[in-house]
Structure 1
Amino acid sequence: MSLLTILDETASGSVLHRLELEINQETLTVGELITRRVHDEVAAYNERQSGSFQGLVQPTESERVLNGYRLRPGHHIDAEQQVYRALEAFQQNRFFVLVNDRQAESLDEQVWLGEGATASFVKLTPLVGG
């Protein structure tokens, strides 16, 4: 089992959030990687039920705040709904994934996640006003 370092970054390269994910396979598809990441972050939030949610995509019924998303107290996030939203966001190019400094092109693409691997999730911000 190895630890995969995951970075959430802006398009300019600023790191917004860093987390580590335990991976017990050397290769996964990009879709499986996104699914694992989302399940882990939702489980961590649902367990602590405090502070802001610093996830890949905004949960339904949440408000965007400086360091993530704020939900009503006692509100559990539905992991499957978050996975669906994240996979859809990837397909709509709202973020892209770099694994070992190489951009992943599709959800079915196999990526190597062995010892020392890194994954960067680069969130794209839509332009306002055209």
Structure 2
Amino acid sequence: MTFRDETATGRALAEFSLPDLPERISARELVRLRVREEVARYNAAPSPRFRGLVKPSDAEAELNGYRMRTARKLDWEKQADAAETAFARNGFLLLVGDRQIEDLDTEIDLIADPVVSFVRLIPLVGG
């Protein structure tokens, strides 16, 4: 199963794979699993830059990531909760195959659709 970050035009920004996932999983579990994995990778070697789905508290947004005020370990559960909130507020799109997931309780068949794409939405400034 592959997690892919994409631009709104479909250009891949980053991707990583996780083996041994169940054949079916809810979108909520999938988002939380993705966040747990990216936080674990970051926590293994904390740095001034975090490339994850949602902004950690006290970080500043940069192009394709977040600048941390101090390199520190992150709490994956707080990040996962923030990701669920961001999804509910249209902070990112979740695409599976050729369909957009609109509800985190939707079941996803990972055998039929082994690539899940995340598209971060950036609010426009001004009007």
Once the two structures are superposed, the pairs formed by residues 1-130 of structure 1 within 5 Å of their partners are 4-50=1-47, 52-114=49-111, 117-130=114-127
Question: Contact conserved, 1:38 with 1:56, CA < 8 A, in 2?
Answer: yes
What percentage of aligned pairs have identical amino acids? 45
Task: Give the residue type in structure 1 aligned to 2:5.
Answer: D
Cα distance in 1 for residues equivalent to 2:89 and 2:70 = 31
CA-CA distance at 1:32 after TM superposition = 0.3
Cα distance in 1 for residues equivalent to 2:92 and 2:34 = 14
Structure 2 portions without partners, runs of 5+: none
3-state secondary structure, aligned to 2:118: strand
Change over 3 Å in CA distance of 1:116–1:31 after alignment to 2:
closer
Question: Contact conserved, 2:96 with 2:113, CA < 8 A, in 1?
Answer: no
Structure 1 portions without partners, runs of 5+: none
Deviations along 1:40-84, one digit per CA (max 9) or x if unpaired, are: 000110011135211000111112233411224441111111001
TM-score, with structure 1 as normaliser: 0.89
Task: Give the residue type in structure 1 aligned to 2:76.
Answer: A
CA-CA distance at 1:116 after TM superposition = 6.2
3-state secondary structure, aligned to 2:49: coil
What RMSD over aligned residues (CA atoms) do the two structures have, in Å? 1.6
Cα distance in 2 for residues equivalent to 1:51 and 1:26 = 36
